[in-house]
Amino acid sequence: MNSTLSTSRGILPTSRIGTFESGFSGPYGQIEPEVSDNEETELLSVSWNQDYGCFSTGTSSGFRIYNCDPLKETFRRDLKSGGFGIVEMLFRSNILALVGGKFNSQYPPNKVIIWDDHQSRCIGEFSFRSEVRAVKLRRDRIVVVLEHKIYVYNFTDLKLLHQIETLSNPRGLCCLSHMLNTSVLACLGLRRGQVRVEHFGLSMTRFIDAHDSQIATLTLTMDGLLLATASTRGTLIRIFNTMDGTRLQEVRRGVDKADIYSIALSPNVQWLAVSSDKGTVHIFSLRVRVVGEDSSWFSVAQSPAMVNRSSSSSPDALISPSTSANPGSSLSFLKGVLPKYFSSEWSFSRFHIPEYTQFIAAFGSQNTVIIVGMDGSFYRCSFDPVNGGEMLQQEYVRFLKTDSRPK
C-alpha cells in the first residue's frame, strides 16, 4: 500500500452540524493573518457539497465556503503558506477534507487533511506517494482517489476498508451515493470507457461498458441506483441501472466533440443537466420512472429479494412510455436509414455561458439550475418544465468579489 496514516484521538460523530468558526490552529496549522482583499485571488477548484446546497472553493491563498440559496459566503480561511487544490465538505457539517495546491509550502498535494473546524484541529491525515486527484466524503466513508488507485476508509476510525485499481484517472473521477441505507461507489474500470460500480452493502461489483471512448465525467443518484456518464467525445450522455448495468436512456448534447465538465441529476430524477466547453448548459427530460417525490425507484435496494427481481426484470419497467417532453428529431421515423443523431433525444432547455470556462451545474429548488464557474461567476436560472426553451437568468454574481462576507 502506498499510503501512510496518522490520526488524532476523539474523532467526533460526523452527523453533528456545526458552524464555521475563526482560527486555523492546532497541530497542522497556526493562526495566519488574512490575505488582503487587494491581492489577486486565483480559483483552484470548485465543488458541491453532497446535497448541492453549498459549494466550496480552493483558492491560491486558502479556501472559501458558500451557501447557494441565498448566495452567501459563510466562511473563509486565508493562509500565508499557500492554497488548497481540493476542498470537500461533508454536507453542511464542520468536517472538511483538504489537499494543498502545488505551491502550498505547508500542505503538499500528496496529503489529505481531515479537518474539524468546530474544534480547529486535524482529526486525520493520509499521506501518499503520488498526487491526490480527488477526495469524496459520505457520513461513514472517506474515499481518496489517486491516478491509478482508490482507497476507501471508514470514517469512524480511519481504517482502510478497500483498495480499487483503476485505469489512469488524472481527472480523479469517482462518485458516491449519499443515502445511509445504500453504499455505492462508481469509478473508472480497467478498460477504456468502462465504469466500475461497487455496491458495498450487497458485496457486489458491476462493470458497465458505458462508452467506446474514455470516460469524461460520471455521477450517481443519491441512492446510487442510477448512473449517468459522458465520454471524452462529449456528444452522448447515458443513464444506467447500476444493479444490472442496463442502459436505460441516451440523450445527445450535440454532434461536435465537446469537453463535458459536469453532469447533474435532479433529486426526483426527472431532469439531467450537462455543462461543457461549448458555452451551454443543457437540460434533458428523463424517462426513468420514479417512486416518490424525492427518490428514484429507491425501494429496489430495500432487500436482496427485491434486488434480484430488479436485476432480472426488463429495463422497460424503469422507462416512462411518455417521451413528449424531450424532443427528438422530426426525422426519427427514418431511424436506421439516416445517421444515428437524427433519432437522438435532444435537450429540452438550455442556458448560454462563456465558452471554454469550466462550469459545474446542479439543480436548485422549483425548476432552477445553479451554475458555478472557475472564473468566479455564479448563475441561477429557471426553466419552463412544460415548454422548455431558453432558460431565464435570475441571478448573476461574481462570488470572489462579493461583499457578502461572513459575519
Interval 291-317: pLDDT, tens: 444 443 333 333 333 333 333 334 444
pLDDT of 181: 87
Residue 67: inside a domain, yes or no?
yes
Q: In which domain, by residue range, is 43 found?
A: 30-132
Give CA–CA dist 238/149, Å, rounded. 25
Domains in the chain, number: 1
Residue 98: inside a domain, yes or no?
yes
Q: Reply yes or no on whether the pLDDT at 18 is more than 50.
A: no
Backbone angles phi and psi of 85, in degrees to 5: -85, -20
Percent of the chain surpassing pLDDT 70? 75
Average pLDDT over the chain, rounded to an integer? 81
> Which cell is 226 given?
442510477
pLDDT of 336: 46
258 to 30, 126, 362, 376, 392: CA distances (angstroms): 44, 35, 19, 22, 24
Which H, E and C letters describe the chain, residue by residue?
CCEEEEECCCCCCCCCCCCCCCCCCCCCCCCCCCCCCCCCCCEEEEEECCCCCEEEEEECCEEEEEEECCEEEEEEEECCCCCEEEEEECCCCCEEEEEECCCCCCCCCCEEEEEECCCCEEEEEEEECCCCCEEEEECCEEEEECCCEEEEEECCCCCEEEEEECCCCCCCCEEECCCCCCCEEEEECCCCCEEEEEEHHHCEEEEEECCCCCEEEEEECCCCCEEEEEECCCCEEEEEECCCCCEEEEEECCCCCCCEEEEEECCCCCEEEEEECCCEEEEEECCECCCCCCCCCHHHHHCHHHHHHHHHCCHHHHECCCCCCCCECCCHHHECCECHHHHCECCCEEEECCCCCCEEEEECCCCEEEEEECCCEEEEEECCCCCCEECEEEEEEECCCCCCCCC
239 near 272, Cβ under 8 Å?
Answer: yes
Of 185-199, 241-255, 318-332, the least confident: 318-332
Residue 181: inside a domain, yes or no?
no
Give which of 97, 65, 44 is closest to 399, Cα–Cα. 65
324 or 396, greater pLDDT: 396
pLDDT of 36: 44
76 or 145, greater pLDDT: 145
Residue 208: inside a domain, yes or no?
no
Give which of 302, 115, 118 is closest to 202, Cα–Cα. 302
Backbone angles phi and psi of 61, in degrees to 5: -125, 5
Q: What's CA 379's distance to the chain center, in Å? A: 18
Residue 381: inside a domain, yes or no?
no
Give CA–CA dist 383/6, Å, rounded. 48
Give CA–CA dist 50/200, Å, rounded. 19
Residue 352: inside a domain, yes or no?
no
pLDDT of 203: 95
In single-letter form, the type of residue at position 273 comes to A
Percent of the chain surpassing pLDDT 90? 64
Give which of 158, 162, 192 is closest to 176, Cα–Cα. 162
Q: Reply yes or no on whether the pLDDT at 407 is more than 70.
A: no
pLDDT of 297: 38
Residue 371: CB partners within 8 Å, gap ≥ 6?
275, 281, 351, 353, 359, 360, 361, 378, 379, 380, 381
Q: What angle do CA 352, 58, 146 make, to 5 degrees?
A: 100
For residues 76-93, one letter each, b for 16 or more C-beta atoms within 10 angstroms of the residue's C-beta and e for the rest, the string is bbbbeebbbbbbbbbbbb
Ranked by mean pLDDT, the top range of 16-20, 103-107, 126-130, 325-329 is 126-130
Residue 124: inside a domain, yes or no?
yes
Residue 107: inside a domain, yes or no?
yes
Give the largest CA-CA distance in the chain. Answer: 68
Handedness of CA 197, 3, 95, 13 (dihedral sign): positive
> Would you place residue 289 in the very low, low, confident or very high pLDDT band (cuts 50, 70, 90)?
low
127 near 103, Cβ under 8 Å?
Answer: no
